[in-house]
């Protein structure tokens, strides 16, 4: 009798524990709007953000916005993930291994339309949230490398970006447009940070950096006095590239952006996008978009690139569909009429 009672009590406790655990699974996360009223519709409790290699601009910005959203959006935790960059992020959005990601506008367009490296592997579930900042093609090279324009890299050791990254894909696209094949030089596939260190140590002649201005690794490299940044020339080939790839636009790096740079650099840029899986709830993406643009000044305290995030440029260079949650916010604030 005592054994039966103990078994009954044990079974009852087990049932109660199961019920409590099950009840903690996918509870909707309640939100408060500006009037203090409860909103429902957010069921995600843990959100992953695809960024880049550790220390890269995507990564540092992703960590910062993840912390911001975790603080501002009650009941949802955001975690920045170290990745290989735009290409890997796009693939993992498609495979539902990531919820959000930072991706170059060029890679996003290629992924959604199924062209270039995504031919036959179209990513159909990627939606844009906003344009963050221009991703500029920058090519720092050693001053004594003999490289004065992109055609001069033939026979040289030059980094094209980490394998699988958007930088690698973009480098190959524009080099091909300029008539430079991978077999024409010795392409390296390192992260931007590792590449800049290798060039500082004169183990390579240069590296192709595609991203925001003022990244730490490039600031460090330019401060050594060993580097110059070359323009994307010849100019006629630059114009051909812009015609072939309409999601790029002309861009000038003004003199003085970097140490030892008293000259303008003529190049091109695309937009850096925050993207989401299309099946994330409209309410969650609305809250993400709203809290991003309403807290730019706070972000800029630790991330100088955040000064580039504005409502005026929020839709620049976006060539893929917007997520309904982002569209709702942009209509609310008048960016979309």
pLDDT, position 55: 77
Residue 258 near residue 219 (C-beta atoms within 8 A): yes
Beta bridge partners of 253: 265
Write out the two tokens for 298.
Answer: 């706070």
Judged against a pLDDT cut of 80, whether residue 280 lies above it is answered with yes
Task: Kindly tell me the number of DSSP H helices and DSSP E strands found in the chain.
Answer: 11, 14
Confidence check: pLDDT of 30 > 60? no
Token pair in block for residue 80: 């920045």
Cis status, amide bond into 234, omega within 30 of 0 = yes
Residue with tokens 């447009």: 177
Residues 306-316 pLDDT 10s: 999 999 999 98
pTM exceeds cut of 0.85: no
Q: Is the per-residue pLDDT at 303 higher than 50?
A: yes
Please list the alpha-helical segments (H only) found in the chain: 2-23, 57-72, 86-94, 105-113, 166-177, 192-200, 216-223, 235-244, 282-293, 296-300, 324-332
pLDDT tens track for 241-276:
999 888 888 999 999 999 999 999 999 999 999 999
Cα–Cα distance for residue pair 2/7, rounded to 1 Å: 9
Domains (ranges, CATH) in the chain?
41-132+273-332 (3.40.190.10), 136-270 (3.40.190.10)
Q: What is the DSSP letter of 203?
A: S
User: What's residue 221's pLDDT?
Assistant: 92
**What's the pLDDT tens digit per position in 169-182?**
889 988 999 999 99
d(CA 279, CA 82): 22
Is the predicted pLDDT of residue 164 greater than 80, yes or no? no
As given in the structure block, the two tokens for residue 108 are 């996003």
Backbone angles phi, psi at 138, to 5 degrees: -125, 135
Tens digit of pLDDT for each residue in 51-96? 998 878 899 999 999 999 999 999 999 999 999 899 999 999 999 9
The mean pLDDT of the chain is: 87
């Amino acid at each position: 009798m005592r054994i039966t009672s103990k078994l009954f009590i044990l079974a009852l406790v087990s049932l109660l524990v199961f019920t409590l655990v099950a009840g903690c699974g996918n509870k909707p996360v309640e939100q408060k709007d500006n009037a203090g009223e409860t909103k429902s519709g957010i069921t995600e409790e843990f959100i992953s953000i695809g960024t880049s290699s550790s220390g890269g601009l995507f990564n540092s910005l992703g960590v910062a916005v993840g912390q911001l959203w975790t603080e501002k959006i009650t009941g949802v935790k955001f975690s920045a993930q170290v990745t290989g960059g735009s290409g890997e992020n796009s693939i993992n959005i498609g495979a539902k291994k990531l919820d959000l990601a930072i991706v170059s506008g060029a890679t996003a367009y290629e992924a959604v339309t199924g062209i270039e490296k995504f031919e036959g592997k179209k990513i159909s579930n990627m939606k844009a949230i906003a344009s963050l900042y221009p991703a500029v093609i920058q090519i720092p090279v050693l001053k004594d490398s003999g490289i004065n324009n992109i055609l001069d890299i033939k026979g040289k050791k030059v980094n094209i970006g980490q394998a699988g990254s958007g930088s690698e894909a973009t480098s190959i696209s524009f080099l091909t447009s300029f008539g430079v094949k991978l077999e024409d030089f010795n392409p390296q596939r390192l992260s931007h940070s590792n590449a800049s260190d290798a060039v500082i140590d004169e183990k390579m002649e240069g590296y192709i950096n595609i991203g925001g201005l003022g990244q730490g690794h490039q600031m460090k490299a330019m401060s050594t006095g060993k580097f110059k940044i070359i323009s994307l020339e010849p100019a006629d080939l630059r114009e051909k590239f812009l015609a072939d790839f309409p999601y790029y636009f002309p861009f000038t790096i003004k003199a003085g952006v970097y140490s030892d740079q008293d000259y303008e650099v003529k190049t091109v840029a695309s937009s850096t996008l925050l993207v989401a899986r299309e099946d994330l709830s409209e309410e969650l993406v609305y809250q993400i978009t709203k809290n991003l643009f309403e807290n730019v000044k706070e972000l800029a305290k630790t991330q100088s690139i955040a000064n580039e995030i504005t409502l005026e440029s929020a839709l620049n260079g976006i060539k893929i569909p917007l997520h309904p949650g982002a569209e709702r916010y942009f209509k609310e604030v008048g960016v979309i009429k």
